[in-house]
Structure 1
């Protein structure tokens, strides 16, 4: 029994900074169940403890101001036997981590809904100079039966302990989810946004965040782990990438900014618009650098369907390629090759041989069997008409099907 009032029922969890208990408030006729968080740390002198108590009270006052339906209510706080305690509202439901284990990965629509649900909550706390510091799937609950998302387990214990003990660079948060600046002891509103971004890609892939980051290239490679039937649109992927940017200045600075970007991404998706930068392809074609232009075409196609650059493109991927992007690439090749190269040139040749892929391949000097290698001497102006763009991007062994899909899309 704590404070001769709170009857502890069982421990819900523990970590390096504290323990969480399920309890009953015996002072209330309703025997209200609640959550009690105990801050656990050892101090060797009274000065350090007094400093911790002072900071704890400041943090508790800040939390008490966060009256929001998607944040557990702070019901009380106290000190007992040199330990600090927070009493909070009990939220019934599942965490998103538990939901992931039970239901599997989420899709773009569900992640978009998650962001729209939580970003206003983050803007609310950031406007009040509060930073959560530990956003992750285990700290986001879906309240039952309503289904709304609730942000739980603010990093008060971590912040109080680290600050009171003056541990320079103490990392506050879960290592897989925290922003680079937070590992150095500096938490900002953008740090919470970064953690929210990592939460999104974990829920999209089901893969631990550490495995979604390539330390060699120093970048997130979450797209490599997206299931083929669960592809993310280019515009939505760009929102996630900016949330995850290692450089603080290049990341979103506020939750409202993310919401605006999300709305624009939704409009682009609704209008089937994907913004690509064709300037490099145009410049390469202008200089008649066919090999480089061929590779840039592959890169643009990958970007348009939200696949990592250099990924092979299969027929199902090709069907998702927006027609206007295919047509734009084709028009650039036609213009700068004086009508010699382009997808539409290949279509004309294909139709002239009545769709016989063997005759088509012979006409443009492609191998009729699967091969994505190109003889070096064909990277010249006198390459056969229709030779470019090549099929270096084509995945699978039935390469004639790619030509059939392209012809149908044109």
Structure 2
């Protein structure tokens, strides 16, 4: 398909069409090179199109940004045009960086401005928050360690982004974060830092000095701190700040515990007073690093997996599947060997008696295999840790909180539902504690109940996993 770029037409021309729109005759190739395919975003000042670069053999995807103001007001339009051009200038100045979209072209065609940049495949953090729910402390730490080096990079080139928020951070499938939308970015010369400028940013995320037109490097740090609070709480910034007391009350809205160490870092990032705030991304990275435990030196190779079983169960196949990263097959094998260890193969489900007497050696072997081959992401002991973090109670509310944290529940049409087995994520990009999933295999009385909350948890405690 070829999407016409003429704002008064926008016809979707069929594949294999000529280089001119069938409806209005407008050129379909931008700069005789970039072919628009569909609109992927629009606002008051223009549209964004998904496109392909036809100069390259593989025809890689790219993004076309078209400046096309749709309302009156000469001064506003003039300022928007300047910011549009400024985005191209800033991207060119920043050059190539794996976590910033690369500028491919900037020019005018048919009396309209166009910016062409690298296509970033992924969803923004606002979308992730909506689909997966609130972030854990581990996710926030990963975000900071992933994104702060990008701040170091842009700030070292005297660029201030000025619009840090969840919508402007893209999460790629490999877990890498990309900072986008440099339209509000400001070149921070010493003169510019000392002079009041244009007020740009998003309400709630903007630092006080930036709201007064004096953005500095620490302004981006403030906005990133507020972004972290919103991801932790699923609450908008305006509701996380108490105007009457002039203080942040984000802890009142937490859905999971946050360590005092991380809390102190976030508190310093969002200090209204500049002198009390972190002055650079490097300072935050150093604070995070100082909290990380130092790894123990490796003295000798780790011993082979013991594969102990009190019931003579062979765990070789489970070990081999986990070692090969075949997570779905390993999950199914886990159910089989556990039924065998509980001597419930014929019944094909567990009851409270069989779980209360489940051999600790077998439970420990299964857990150690999952923890080892998932690099600490999966396993019963990992799930138990998260269970304790969300309250450690044996009730439906706690079970739902656990499901939210480990990714067993997903928001759909305004509500969260439990995922079916085929909707689970069987790779290391799954949330921590996502596997193993044997939630449906316990029967109490005449009904099926959740695996964790009512049966297995007490046995894991007794076995000291």
- Quick check: TM above 0.5? yes
Of 42, 48, 68, the residue aligned with 1:14 is 42
Question: 1:219 maps to which residue?
Answer: 247
What is the CA distance between 1:191 and its match in structure 2?
Answer: 1.0
SS in 2 for 1:153: coil
What is the CA distance between 1:38 and its match in structure 2?
Answer: 2.5
Q: Distance in 1 between matches of 2:122 and 2:288?
A: 27
Question: 1:77 maps to which residue?
Answer: 106
- 1:32 lines up with 2:44 in the alignment: no
- 1:87 lines up with 2:101 in the alignment: no
What is the CA distance between 1:56 and its match in structure 2?
Answer: 6.0
Within 5 Å, which residues of 2 pair with 1:116-265? 116-144=145-173, 146-156=174-184, 170-227=198-255, 230-265=256-291
What is the CA distance between 1:109 and its match in structure 2?
Answer: 1.3
Work out whether residues 133 and 191 of structure 1, in 8 Å CA contact, stay in contact via their aligned partners in 2: yes
Work out whether residues 155 and 173 of structure 1, in 8 Å CA contact, stay in contact via their aligned partners in 2: no
Of 117, 124, 142, the residue aligned with 1:113 is 142
Deviations 1:94-147 (A, max 9, x none): 211111111111111110110000000110011011111111111111112x22
SS in 2 for 1:29: coil
Work out whether residues 162 and 185 of structure 2, in 8 Å CA contact, stay in contact via their aligned partners in 1: no
- Higher mean alpha-carbon deviation, 5-14 vs 193-202, is at 5-14
What is the CA distance between 1:256 and its match in structure 2?
Answer: 0.3
SS in 2 for 1:92: coil
C-alpha spacing 1:219/1:17, structure 2 compared with 1 (3 Å): farther
Tell me how many residue pairs correspond in the alignment. Answer: 259
Q: Distance in 2 between matches of 1:44 and 1:174?
A: 22
Q: Distance in 2 between matches of 1:35 and 1:53?
A: 18
Report the TM-score, using the length of structure 2 for normalisation. Answer: 0.51
Within 5 Å, which residues of 2 pair with 1:246-325? 246-266=272-292
More helix by share: 1
C-alpha spacing 1:215/1:18, structure 2 compared with 1 (3 Å): farther
SS in 2 for 1:176: coil
Deviations 1:12-71 (A, max 9, x none): 2223444322122233332222112233456759xx96x987886665343123311111
What is the CA distance between 1:11 and its match in structure 2?
Answer: 2.1
SS in 1 for 2:159: coil
Work out whether residues 134 and 234 of structure 2, in 8 Å CA contact, stay in contact via their aligned partners in 1: yes
Q: Distance in 2 between matches of 1:158 and 1:5?
A: 30
Higher Rg: 1
Question: 2:91 maps to which residue?
Answer: 63
Q: Distance in 2 between matches of 1:54 and 1:148?
A: 31
What is the CA distance between 1:80 and its match in structure 2?
Answer: 2.8
